[in-house]
Amino acid sequence: MYQTKIAGLGKYVPENVVTNDDLSKLMDTNDEWITERTGIKERRHIKKGDGNSTAVMGVKASKIALERAGISKDDIDLIVFATLSPDYYFPGCGVQVQEMLDIETCPALDVRNQCSGFIYAISVADQFIKTGMYKNVLVIGSENHSGGLDFSTRGRSVSVIFGDGAGAAVLTRSDHNGQGILSTHLHSEGKHALELSLKGPSTNYWVPEIIADNPQGEDIPYYPYMNGQFVFKNAIQRFSEVINEGLQANGLDVQDINMLIPHQANLRISQFVQNKFKLSDDQVFNNIQKYGNTTAASIPIALTEAWEEGKVKDEDVVVLAAFGSGFTWGSAIIKW
Ligand code: ACO
């Protein structure tokens, strides 16, 4: 059995900064409400014509990760792409990235697990590397939320939360036993699937004739639906459980955590988890203030920034944890 390490990390966020004040010009909201409820001060949005898309941002983050890993794109054995906002309903973004990076015929797959997507994606990659089937896997989380949100007052409780961006990690076989991904822990609970959801094109909700028949669009749920308080309650419970599960599986204690990188759902969720585990500010990394919630991209963006700032170092115990639509949740325990 082999072990998997993270050999290189990269991130990309669009240049266009959208502040809470900017949003208040589009809808009935304000900086105080958004800051108090979510901790978010600004987020990045793709600007029409800037050339970005979910796959394009994924490629930009991947190029940085590959360079830092010192691994050629031709040595990538598998691409795993996590997103809830693909450029096409089909095919997935994985094959788009493969084409844009000019990689011949390696397998590429998309993971559709929303905020937990990156944890699921590295878990998939880890299994392939552990068994020896593949050596190098490119794992990407990327989202273009701004193209699919309702920026009128009707959609304000959802649209103020999300931002665009991408993060990538090159996972590779570790030469050192005990270094790398120690374990991953995945869960889902489909009975709450509709509490945070968006209907797909095959349900006919996006058929142009239906929209034309109903110009106000009042009854057409083609924007995401979120039962905010229900999501909040479940998130704090599941985050806590899955972090504990990961620690226990490796005989670790809370105080062994050098860095917890929670999915950047909402600063209040991160703070609840931090307080529950009595972690110091140095043990938790948050950047939702700058980027909003970028779902599958939030962990790789945060992990990349933490690493760039020297907050993730050799030998550190790094815990990644996420919860989101599905509901799905998971954690990864990594010895850096
Ligand atoms: N600006 C101003 N007022 C708003 C806004 C806004 N952007 N959005 C909603 N409101 C209003 C509502 O209309 C409501 O007004 P009313 O009392 O007159 O009816 C009032 O604010 C309170 O609304 P609630 O929805 O009850 O507000 P709540 O305190 O629950 O906060 C929030 C909403 C921030 C979404 C909260 O439920 C939450 O944080 N939930 C967690 C969800 C989450 O993190 N989702 C991220 C995606 S999932 C994930 O990543 C895990």
Task: Give CA–CA dist 187/150, Å, rounded.
Answer: 30
Q: What tokens does 48 get?
A: 């029409």
Ligand 1 atom showing the smallest separation from residue 228 Cα: 37
Catalytic residues: 115, 263, 293
Task: Give CA–CA dist 206/222, Å, rounded.
Answer: 7
Q: What tokens does 158 get?
A: 């959802």
91 prior amide bond cis, ω within 30: yes
Q: What tokens does 285 get?
A: 């990394």
The contacts of residue 41 (CB under 8 Å, 6+ apart) are: 19, 20, 31, 34, 35, 289, 290
Q: Is 171 helix (H, G, I), strand (E, B) or coil?
A: strand
Full-prediction pTM beyond 0.90?
yes
Distance 37 CA to ligand 1 centre (A): 7
Distance 65 CA to ligand 1 centre (A): 35
Ligand 1 and 231: CB distance under 6 A: yes
Q: Which domains does the chain have, with CATH numbers?
A: 4-173 (3.40.47.10), 180-214+217-335 (3.40.47.10)
Distance 157 CA to ligand 1 centre (A): 5
Ligand 1 and 265: CB distance under 6 A: yes
pLDDT given at position 204: 66
Beta strands in the chain (DSSP E): 4-12, 17-19, 42-44, 78-82, 108-111, 136-143, 165-173, 180-188, 196-197, 225-226, 259-262, 317-324, 328-335
pLDDT given at position 177: 75
Nearest CA to ligand 1 atom 1: 29
- Directed axis angle between helix 54-69 and helix 298-308, to 10°? 30
The contacts of residue 52 (CB under 8 Å, 6+ apart) are: 14, 46, 144, 164
Among 325, 246, 262, 334, which Cα is nearest to 82's? Answer: 325
Ligand 1 and 324: CB distance under 6 A: yes
Distance 228 CA to ligand 1 centre (A): 6
Ligand 1 and 157: CB distance under 6 A: yes
Distance 329 CA to ligand 1 centre (A): 21
pLDDT given at position 214: 60
Task: Give CA–CA dist 242/31, Å, rounded.
Answer: 32
Task: Give CA–CA dist 53/57, Å, rounded.
Answer: 6
Nearest CA to ligand 1 atom 36: 228
**Residue among 157, 187, 268, 294 to mutate when testing ligand 1 (max atoms within 8 A of CB):** 157
Ligand 1 and 145: CB distance under 6 A: no
Question: Distance of alpha carbon 31 from its chain centroid, rounded?
Answer: 24
Ligand 1 atom showing the smallest separation from residue 295 Cα: 50
pLDDT tens, the chain, 336 aa long: 899 999 999 999 999 999 999 999 999 999 999 999 999 999 999 999 999 999 999 999 999 999 999 999 999 999 999 999 999 999 999 999 999 999 999 999 999 999 999 999 999 999 999 999 999 999 999 999 999 998 999 899 999 999 999 999 999 999 777 889 999 999 999 999 999 998 887 776 665 555 566 666 555 557 888 999 999 999 999 999 999 999 999 999 999 999 999 999 999 999 999 999 999 999 999 999 999 999 999 999 999 999 999 999 999 999 999 999 999 999 999 999
Ligand 1 and 4: CB distance under 6 A: no
